């Protein structure tokens, strides 16, 4: 039996792929959109029997992250799995399907005065895609990233077996915290079906204290003055070419008092506003996006290296992004990337290219050095021994 016919027997939405659906230029032979966990398991089982290489797809907001798959026999689309399965408001916990857009999830949670404290730099991003890429924004300073907020996960393995970890466990994968393991795994270990999150209350009041800064030294001093103060920010962001902004959350009187104290720390140029400054929580403009990380003191040397003309955002906890403009040659990108890695390595940090034009991507090392690569390969072998899940999409060709 042909793969298309076999898949159509277990899933109500199966068809041939189209060129426009290519993952970084690799066209899928088939596309399946299962509607629930049972159909996902059946689709994955059939794919295993037919030896099909699988790439998951959510809303395509980050499908251009990483490297192209070696092949894409089957694109598994999660858009039909878009429900909020449970919201235990009293426990500050919610369970959502992988295809649910993050905006819709937070709209539903806000009805009960709660939220999933993850920023949404790309409108339309889904629950599954956000976890698979480990994406987070300024709020990571206080609340962490998906790996910190996911407390339960349901996945389907390459062979069609269902596995769960965390909240409301039915069957565990012994020895693994799937929430942490699958965060940033790029679909290479299994297909995420649903996730259970730890929630937080929507703050009664917020304030942004924003200040213009001049040069690496001034920027470093401004950020450090906030990090080492008792104002308890939810986030601290540097936004090129010269803005430091601080987010404060809490009860109205407390936020107002902390905002004034924060403004005093930043100096006479500081201003308090209820709205975020331009660029807050967004990726910097450019056709090449580089994800950078290092301890907070690295900011001064980082800014000295890149100069004022490079689009950059940087979180107070030591994570940011560099955007390089359209038309940047492969040689230019490679040079900047090399210098970034040299600077960040001195602080035990690193730089990873999230997306870039094809001609640039082909001439650079997207991932950079990865000390844990041998361990990651062993985990891949355990979860996907035939290497059929997003093959080649992740670091080291995983």
Q: What is the mean pLDDT of the chain?
A: 94
Q: What is the mean pLDDT of residues 141-159?
A: 95
User: Cβ neighbours of residue 82 under 8 Å, at least 6 residues apart?
Assistant: 97, 99, 100, 101, 104, 126
Q: What is the pLDDT of residues 72-112, one digit of tens each?
A: 999 999 999 999 999 999 999 999 999 999 999 999 999 99
Q: Among 55, 66, 68, which residue's Cα sits nearest to residue 29?
A: 55
Residues 54 and 236: their CA atoms lie apart, in Å, by 39
Distance CA 208, CA 263 (A): 10
- Cα separation, 240 vs 312, whole angstroms: 5
* Model pLDDT, residue 166: 79
pLDDT in tens, 285-311: 999 999 999 999 999 999 999 987 789
Distance, CA of 89 to CA of 111 (rounded, Å): 10
Q: Is the pLDDT of residue 206 over 50?
A: yes
The percentage of the chain sitting over the pLDDT mark of 90, rounded to a whole number, equals: 92
CATH of 288-361, one of 3.60.21, 3.30.70, 1.10.3470, 1.20.1270: 3.30.70
The CATH number of domain 205-273 is 3.30.70.980: yes
pLDDT at 169: 39
pLDDT-based confidence at residue 338 (cuts at 50, 70, 90): very high
Q: Provide the CATH topology of domain 84-201.
A: 3.30.465
pLDDT per residue as tens digits for the range 215-257 = 999 999 999 999 999 999 999 999 999 999 999 999 999 999 9
The whole-angstrom separation of Cα 392 and Cα 71 is 8
Q: Residue 319, CB half-sphere, CA atoms under 13 Å: how many?
A: 17
Q: Which fold has domain 3-79+384-397?
A: 3.30.43
pTM of the model: 0.94
Q: In the prediction, which pLDDT does 167 show?
A: 64
Q: CATH 3.30.465.10 spans which residues of the chain?
A: 84-201
CA distances from 352 to 292, 309, 398 (A): 7, 20, 15
Average pLDDT on 131-141 reads 95
Instruction: Check whether 35 has a pLDDT greater than 50.
Output: yes
pLDDT at 168: 47
In the predicted structure, residue 172 carries a pLDDT above the cut 50 = no
């Amino acid at each position: 039996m042909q793969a298309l016919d076999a898949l159509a027997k277990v899933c109500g939405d199966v068809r041939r792929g189209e060129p426009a659906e290519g993952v970084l230029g690799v066209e899928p032979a088939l596309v399946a959109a299962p509607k629930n966990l049972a159909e996902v398991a059946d689709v994955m089982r059939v794919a295993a029997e037919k030896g099909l290489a699988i790439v998951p797809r959510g809303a395509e907001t980050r499908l251009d992250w990483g490297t192209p798959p070696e092949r894409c026999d089957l694109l598994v689309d999660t858009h039909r799995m878009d429900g909020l399965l449970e919201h235990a408001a009293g426990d500050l916990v919610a369970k959502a399907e992988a295809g649910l857009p993050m905006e819709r999830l937070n709209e539903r949670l806000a009805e009960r005065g709660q939220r999933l404290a993850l920023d949404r730099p790309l409108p339309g991003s889904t629950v599954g895609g956000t976890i698979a890429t480990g994406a987070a924004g300024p709020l990571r300073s206080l609340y962490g990233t998906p790996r910190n907020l996911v407390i339960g996960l349901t996945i389907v393995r390459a062979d069609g077996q269902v596995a769960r970890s965390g909240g409301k466990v039915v069957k565990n994968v012994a020895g693994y915290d799937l929430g942490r393991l699958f965060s940033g795994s790029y679909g290479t270990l299994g297909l995420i079906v649903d996730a259970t999150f730890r929630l937080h209350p929507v703050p009664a009041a917020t304030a942004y204290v924003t200040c213009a800064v001049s040069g690496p030294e001034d920027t470093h001093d401004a950020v450090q003055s906030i990090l080492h103060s008792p104002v308890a920010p939810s986030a601290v962001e540097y936004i090129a070419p010269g803005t430091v902004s601080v987010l404060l959350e809490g009860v109205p009187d407390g936020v107002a008092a902390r905002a004034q104290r924060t403004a005093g720390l930043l100096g006479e140029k500081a201003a308090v506003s209820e709205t975020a400054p331009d660029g807050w929580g967004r990726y910097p403009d450019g056709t090449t996006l580089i994800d950078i990380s290092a301890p907070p003191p690295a900011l001064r040397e980082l800014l000295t290296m890149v100069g004022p003309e490079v689009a950059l955002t940087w979180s107070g906890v030591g994570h940011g992004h560099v955007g390089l403009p359209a038309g940047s040659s492969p040689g230019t990108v490679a040079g900047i990337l090399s210098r970034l890695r040299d600077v960040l390595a001195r602080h035990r940090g690193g730089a990873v290219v999230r997306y870039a034009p094809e001609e640039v991507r082909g001439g650079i090392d997207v991932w950079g050095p990865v000390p844990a690569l041998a361990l990651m390969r062993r985990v891949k072998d355990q979860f996907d021994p035939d290497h059929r899940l997003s093959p080649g999409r992740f670091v080291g060709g995983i």
